[in-house]
Structure 1
Amino acid sequence: MIAPPPASQSIVIASGAVMLAGRQALGPLDLHLTERRIAVIGRNGSGKTTLLRLIAGLVAPVSGQVMVEGADLWRDRKAALRQIGILFQNPDHQILFPTVDEELAFGLRQQGHSKADAAAAVSALLSEEGRAHWAGLSTQALSQGQKQHLCLMAVLLMRPGTLLLDEPFAALDLPTQARLARRLEALPQRLITISHDPRGLSTCDRVLWLEGGALVGDGPPSTLLPAFEAEMARLGGLDEC
């Protein structure tokens, strides 16, 4: 039996910093994240993706500590599989297996579920999602939007408490973006969504604004999003150096 997602989690980053290619790419940051919907905004290279990777335990902090529901996910990969799910911008960078069934079952097998239980869970989810006809289908036969939906289903099967979304709409057309947005908003999990585009973030509970790896803003969207848009407009009006 596949357990339901855990209740809302607490994510604590205490003086967390990340070094990449010999330079400090993020932090040090001090954050306590408990809200249900959190957005991370900033220009390209501001440290948004690095922050998500730090939370997920995919990179180690060079200082401080990162805890998700009391677990250090860099050191405890089993806890990481339980606590955090990630949806990347490009599904082709996330899909590992040639068939839909194999892709969906992989995470469950990593969590220790038997082959039979994983297969049953996959079959049940495909039926629930109206995708029973995907069973046995090649992952390469899917459109870009369908691949993104497949990646989301694979993540949801693992029942994480928090989903990290790295520009999930970037490669999708407008109708597919609308469908994915509705699907995500209905989820019980906490969502932490990266975007450099403030449109669609007004319903978030909290916004984090990164610039050069530092936190320059932290607050409600009603305050942070207009300030961010104004600054981006200012920068866009400057001549490039």
Structure 2
Amino acid sequence: MSRIQFREVGVSVPVWGERGQQHHKQLLSGITADLTERRIAIIGANGSGKSTLLRLLNGLASATSGQLLVDGIDPAKDPKAIRQKVGFIFTDPLSQLVMSTPADDLELSLRKRLKDRKQRRQRALEILDERGLGRVADQSIYDLSGGERQLVSMATVLAVEPDVVVADEPTTLLDLRNRLRVGEALMDLDQQLVVATHDLDLAARADRALVIEAGRCVFDGSPDAAIDHYRQLMHTPAPR
């Protein structure tokens, strides 16, 4: 498994007030953790900072304080290397799928690895078959179910053979059947998985879970204990 090291990581962004004054909003503060487990869940309320934390892992966001390393690579300093190592699955697969069909999207992901077009097409179809998606290879992305789109999205990430898969609330937009299907596919991955989720059943299957609240890690431990902590937190009135 890869080693993901957060050392007092913080993220702040500039915001402007009504009169044009600029100040900074803190999205993450003091995140410290050494993540080496195979399955890691990140749970927390909307706006807590989960997505920002995940985006740091493959350079979609940058820390403004502290240090983050993935197997010794700083994502902000070497985005090319980190995106070969860390694949990112978005909440909405339509944010990720840019071609008209699943096969075309897979071919796009394989373009750097396979220069020959026929080989690329053959490998794209093989990957879709391996994930139970061969029958939709040439269908329009817009004709697929939400679960099928998310599985295709996952396949495009896996095509480049990353060491780590990061998934940002991958089951949020899905019905129960597809949520279970996508969750099972995530848990079956050979790669290390870091998943932010509101699906507490999915989080419970992880090896470790972090609870993020107001940009801070307020609990880090076993999934069952983390979920209990999160439930208690959600029953506590938010500060005014």
Same fold (TM over 0.5): yes
CA shift, 1:157, in A, is 0.9
Residue 114 of structure 2 corresponds to which residue in structure 1?
113
Residue 89 of structure 1 corresponds to which residue in structure 2?
91
TM-score by length of 1: 0.88
Q: Secondary structure at the match of 1:39?
A: strand
Partner deviation per Cα, 1:69-100 (whole Å, 9 max, x = no partner): 11122222321222111111111111111222
Q: Secondary structure at the match of 2:202?
A: coil
Please point out which of 36, 40, 48 is paired with 1:46.
48
1:185 equivalenced with 2:187 (yes/no) = yes
Distance 1:132 1:203 in 2: 28
Residue 221 of structure 2 corresponds to which residue in structure 1?
219
Percent identity reads 33
Relative to structure 1, the CA distance from residue 92 to residue 65 in structure 2 (aligned partners, 3 Å threshold; closer, same or farther) is same
Where does the alignment leave 5 or more consecutive residues of structure 1 unmatched?
A: 1-7
Partner deviation per Cα, 1:186-208 (whole Å, 9 max, x = no partner): 11111111123433322211111
Distance 1:29 1:217 in 2: 11
Relative to structure 1, the CA distance from residue 58 to residue 67 in structure 2 (aligned partners, 3 Å threshold; closer, same or farther) is same
Distance 2:100 2:25 in 1: 38
Residue 12 of structure 1 corresponds to which residue in structure 2?
5
Q: Secondary structure at the match of 2:10?
A: strand
TM-score by length of 2: 0.88
Residue 18 of structure 2 corresponds to which residue in structure 1?
none
Matched positions, count: 230
Shifted more, 94-103 versus 38-47: the winner is 94-103
Partner deviation per Cα, 1:161-182 (whole Å, 9 max, x = no partner): 1111111111111111111122
Q: Secondary structure at the match of 1:204?
A: coil
Question: What do you get for the CA RMSD once the two structures are aligned?
Answer: 1.9
Letter in 1 for 2:231: E
Residue pair 2:133, 2:152 contacting (<8 A) in 1 also:
no
| Poorly superposed stretches of 4+, deviation over 6 Å | none
Residue pair 2:42, 2:212 contacting (<8 A) in 1 also:
yes
